[in-house]
Amino acid sequence: MTVPLLTRELIVVARRPVLTAAVVVYVGLLAAFTFIWGLKLPTLTGASFYDVLRTFNAGLFTIVMPWIVARCHAQDCGDGLVLLSAVSARRPSSIVLAKILSLAGVVVLVAIAGVPATIIAEKMSALSASAVLRDLGSALALAVLVSAVTTTWSVACGNAMTSWVGGSATTAVVLAAASRWASSRAAQDVSIVLVAMAVAAASATWTDRAFQYFHE
């Protein structure tokens, strides 16, 4: 995995108009939820609005972020991946890992764009700023998972819609399992990162076996 592969992927993502649309939708829905329902939901549910927003954000994250990955990455799959591997003299696994890393960075940046809404919710709920930092750390872990699973779906099937649905469903299952079985938020984040790393490693191994080329 080299810098040119990472740079190539980031350039492709930056040129996708759908990225801007997805950022607007994500940030806009977070802001709308905060300003419209922030004063009503606590009185209706009795829960802290910050906790409600955290749940809403997690659901929104599992829908929007896989869509960004599925639609914005360079469409290298099948013969295209083999050709790029041959031209760049890099193993298919290096290309896939570069995709996962660069797309995780993109997802993190989108998540950071939504931080102002969480800060407002934190102020409304009279919590400390550390709550926002903890949730940002959780978003970083989830970004790695989203990138790994959705990229794997994309390389395997080559269809954006299937990749989006598969990535969202897989992310939701892992997040639900981690939330249920982890003893703390830190343990939950660590377990999510470990699953993401396992998926990335499995995807890299599979692509090296499935998309081989010969120098001859």
Q: By CB neighbour count within 10 A (0-12 exposed, 13-18 middle, 19+ buried), where does 172 fall?
A: middle
- pTM to 2 decimal places: 0.85
pLDDT tens, the chain, 216 aa long: 567 777 877 887 888 888 899 999 999 999 888 887 765 655 555 567 788 888 889 999 999 999 999 888 777 665 566 566 666 666 777 888 888 999 999 999 999 998 888 888 888 777 777 888 888 889 999 999 999 999 999 888 878 899 999 999 999 999 999 888 877 888 899 999 999 999 999 988 887 776 665 444
Q: Where are the domains of the chain?
A: 3-210
Looking up tokens 């102020």 gives 123
Cα distances (Å, whole numbers) of residue 131 to 26, 40, 61: 20, 21, 18
Which pair of tokens denotes residue 134? Answer: 């903890």
